[in-house]
Structure 1
């Protein structure tokens, strides 16, 4: 009985080593083949959305999609088996991405068109950071997250001001231009204000009166200023987050701080620095 249990445990360990460990030959081959399958699947979904290709190769493309869906389904089940804590993997970011990358194919059996959501499989390419030893670059994502979190209050106030502006400008334009010039309602006028302030300018609605054109000109000028505000807020937040992160990297020997985030040794005494929080592989092959 014990030998059977040990055999199952060894089988799971071997499977986990192949799925999670990109340093082994088998693990790297598995990951490279997986990425190739993901890219092929995404291309098949894209081509299936093009009428001329769907008419000529529709059957082959759908067959390929189902074949790859079967492969990804088996892979997802194997990841659940190999994970030390299947529930933790299933609820992790990559676990949910793996699940949602196969669900649309089965949903499409009841809801036509849902198969195009298989394009979500492109998110699985984030595993390339682990495979090609780029995980350390994910640490910069934490700096961006900290910057956005620190700037949340300012960005919220900024968005509230912008929302107020588009409502006021849209209402004024509705009063000035009216339905005869395409501003048929206040919501439609607010839509025009949003398009104008963001400098998109679709041109489907345009003011015709001199007063309306003057208001539109003001909205366009405000749009350029509005674009610069969030950029400055996030830039300051990034600088502060980067400075705080450098300050946190203290040399354990001499106590010197403010080392670069990618520095491995102290610039004063050459002592090895503590590792930064760059995220490690989570159970089930999902980098945290």
Structure 2
């Protein structure tokens, strides 16, 4: 058998390189198969986030740990795959959302150690909506300025609500008679965040008052941020080649900061 007819054999380094190229095409490519793959990953992420939100109510069920370890396996594979799409691991690790995802994965892998920090898993919603992966997929169909800003502001608010709820539940459930379950903690968080202040559930002591103050201040800040995003004039992201101003009116011809002529594409 000569060299031309001999079967091709791939060395482990070559096979590993092909794997990285394939993962990079799926996670970052523009082909229909890559887009379908990313939509599938996003749907799985949303289902996992729903489990994180319902987690405190399912903790006593026998199936909880089974789902917990299954999700840990899925997130572990996803984290490893995303890391392989980067040319250098150090570049991947420099991103703050990566460290949040790694911490969430550790709470799933070691649930007994991180039992009281399980409420932080909801931060997966924040890392998903703020990820380049999410907007490379969703941004193909929606405006990447208006919808992105609104979605990020909304994700910040929703993430805060459920993180604060989980913290109140972990700190006061079965200790304070007003917090008998997760729904009570959610009710208190929303009442404090909106500064409604019904007064039927209040946290005891100085520590409870400080938590209430923090929830109220953070809630007002996040509501204002979301309102500003919803009602401020629409802008497009188009860096000015002269001064670097990033946001401009959709029909702008010149940069309002330096007067540089712009060439913003007009879809109409």
Instruction: Give the TM-score normalised by the residue count of structure 2.
Output: 0.49
Structure with larger Rg = 1
User: Comparing both chains, which one has the higher relative contact order based on Cα–Cα distances under 8 Å and sequence gaps of 6 or more?
Assistant: 1
